[in-house]
Structure 1
Amino acid sequence: MSISDKVIITCAVTGSIHTPSMSPHLPVTAEEIVESAVGAADAGAAILHLHARDPATGRPDQSPSAFAPILGALAERTDAVLNLTTGGAPTMSVAERIEPVVAFQPELASMNMGSMNFGLYPMLDRYNQFQHDWEADYLENSRANIFRNSLADIEHAMKACGAGGTRFEFECYDIGHLYTLAHFVARGLVSPPFFVQSVFGLLGGIGNHGEDINHMRRTADRLFGEDYQWSVLGAGRHQMRVAAAGLTLGGNIRVGLEDNLWAGKGRLCVSNREQVETARKLVESLGLSVASPEEARAILGLKGRAKNRFSKEKETV
């Protein structure tokens, strides 16, 4: 099977959407994040999308010092592509959110393509007991807060994060975000291949209906033609249904506990590995093949593991 027929599985290991009280399986400490990420990579995830958290409270932490032990350990234990978030959490400033990427110059970083409402507060209807004081307020405040990603913010983040050769996972939560990406492409701020991650089912963004998924694909095809790789993620219980729809349209897929805590009705997912294993079975059941990390690097035009500021590997001449 040629490299063009390979499917890239991304695993988003912990994120900033869910709070620790929602699942005992959500990795919080650096050690838990590393172990969960390694398990996902062993199961077939070519890309690990990474956030960090305060080990005592589980609160999202975007400081380089929080990422350092995670990146150092993963650089030694897996060859998966390490993808650092610049989304952080909606409560953080853009300057705070891009710090780890500027510091560590990874192969890949997320790049949010527009400001939006990012409603987490409906989760309060399902959870009313919390281990930590910050959790309920964090969810409730999403009712009034806006996840800021202005055009000026995006331009600054692209220039600051791309200076070290980092490429981007362009997170597009709605159709307008694709047009924003096209604007920056036309200005020459980013070059192909573009890795477009379409996000379905978060309150404030596009829904997860089949027509929404088709609309995203058609629009991206029209704007970017052969110059992009498309991936899909479905928020919550629709995760695998969205993945299946994306695969039938020729896309790559993202899974992980950042996006969904559940393995089925009333059953919590016990690990990121479990979700990747399910995703891999889905890929292979369709007669497709899972991309290795090196194949993902070739498909996405990444600079390689040796050219970052955390890997212990030495660049060869």
Structure 2
Amino acid sequence: MASRKIIITCAVTGSIHTPSMSDHLPVTSREIADAAVGAAEAGAAVVHLHARRPYDGRPDQSPEAFAPILQSIKQRSDVVVNLTTGGSPFMSIEERVAPAATYGPELASLNMGSMNFGLFPMLKRFKRFKHDWEPAALEASRNVVFRNTYQDIQFVIETLRRSGTRYEFECYDTSHLHNLHYFWREGLVEGPLFIQTIFGLLGGIGSHPDEVMHMKRTADRLFGDNYVWSVLGAGSAQMKIAAMAAAIGGNVRVGLEDSLWIGPGQLAQSNAQQVLQVRKIIEGLGLEVASAVDAREILMLKGGDKVGF
């Protein structure tokens, strides 16, 4: 389901990268809120949010950690807020869904399958860390399965059902599209399905153009015109995959959660810088960037006045 206007999502901090990897990674609630508002001003219609502990940057999925971030964004912007239910591979599903259950955002991410989630290769690139938890967490990813069972997925759906929150379905491999098709066929989720296909993370599908098109063809076959397609590429694949997808009508996600870089060997100074770069690509293709109002219409969201923050 291609839209004429391209939705840019910005994932401003995530739980993958650690504070020692870039001084530009937002950590405190103020930094995260400022990054989200800056991304919106640069052209992002949607911001995807994680929270962190301010004193060491460790992922924090407590609803209390999100409160000041959400309040600040709501006061300053009409951007669509998308809260993670992914959290971190080291968290329980109950912990992961708690912020979305508390605040009832317009969008929440929903991971569509269990997978290996290998972050340990980053230990080859980054050698010095400010906090002991950082290298320990990266090393621990050698032996972790990011659990998203059918029971876990249904738990999130049932927990958020009454809130009217819709989903960004995060699909890291072909099987995740088939898992989503099961839940859609059973009537547990409704279209239009906002499908985020994710490329280049160790444990998921790769980032070759053939793999991007394989995911697109599979989604077309399974969902027809009942879905809205978006892509994110990890690391150096970020802008390449965004350009490829935008050229054929797809929506895009950027942000420091997915890549710390703006070019080869060059750290991005902000999330807004990545948004501006992908916006330049989109507009260079003769396409129009969607506003938050446009995104709400395309994704059939409930509206920013119906959230719990």
Provide the secondary structure at the position in 2 that maps to 1:254.
strand
Letter in 2 for 1:12: A
Deviation readout 1:199-256 (Å, 9 max, x if unpaired):
0000000000000000000000011111100000000011000101111222000000
SS of match in other structure, 2:301: coil
TM-score normalised by the chain length of structure 1: 0.96
- Is 1:58 the counterpart of 2:60? The answer is no
**Does the CA contact (< 8 Å) of 2:3 and 2:228 recur in 1?**
no
Paired with 2:165 and 2:308, the residues of 1 have a C-alpha distance of 11
The answer to whether the aligner puts 1:190 opposite 2:214 as a matched pair is no
Aligned to 1:278: 277
Cα deviation, residue 297, structure 1: 0.2
Deviation at 1:136, TM superposition (A): 0.4
CA-to-aligned-CA distance 1:175-206 (integer Å, 9 cap, x gap): 00000000000110001110000000000000
C-alpha deviation, 1:162, in angstroms: 2.6
Long gaps (5+) in structure 1: 311-317
Between 154-163 and 190-199, report the one with greater CA deviation: 154-163
2:180 counterpart residue number: 181
Distance 1:120 1:265 in 2: 20
Aligned to 2:121: 122
1:91 positional shift: 0.6
SS at match of 1:202: coil
Percent identity for Structure 1 against Structure 2: 60
Structure 2 CA distance, aligned partners of 1:285 and 1:151?
Answer: 41
Q: Which residue of structure 1 aligns with residue 88 of structure 2? A: 89
Indicate the residue corresponding to 2:289 in structure 1.
290
SS at match of 1:253: strand
Task: Give the secondary structure class of the aligned counterpart of 1:143.
Answer: helix
One-letter code aligned to 1:197: Q
Aligned-partner Cα distance in 2 for 1:10–1:183: 26
Match of 2:206 in 1: 207
Once the 2 structures are TM-superposed, how far is the Cα of residue 266 of structure 1 from its aligned partner?
A: 1.4
Runs of 4+ in 1 over 6 A off after TM superposition: none
Q: Are residues 1:260 and 2:259 paired?
A: yes
Q: CA deviation at 1:264?
A: 1.0
TM-superposed CA distance for 1:163, in Å, is 2.1
Q: C-alpha separation between the residues in 1 aligned to 2:208 and 2:92?
A: 32
Question: Superposition RMSD on alpha carbons, in Å?
Answer: 0.8
Question: CA offsets per residue over residues 242-296 of structure 1, 9 Å max, x none?
Answer: 1011112220000000000011111100000000000100000001000000100
Aligned 1:1-317 pairs, distance under 5 A: 4-310=3-309
Q: Deviations over 1:110-136 (max 9, x none)?
A: 000000000000000011110001000
Alpha-carbon shift at residue 87 of structure 1 (Å): 0.3
Task: Give the Cα–Cα distance (whole angstroms) in 1 for the partners of residues 3 and 53 of structure 2.
Answer: 39
- Counterpart of 2:86 in 1: which secondary structure? coil
Q: What CA deviation, in whole Å up to 9, does each residue of 1:15-47 have, x standing for no partner?
A: 000000000000000000011111100000000
For residues 66-123 of structure 1, give each alpha carbon's deviation from its aligned partner in whole angstroms, at most 9, with x where no partner exists. 0000000100101000000000011101110000000000000000000000000000
- What secondary structure is seen at the aligned counterpart in 1 of 2:201? coil
Alignment: residue pair count: 308
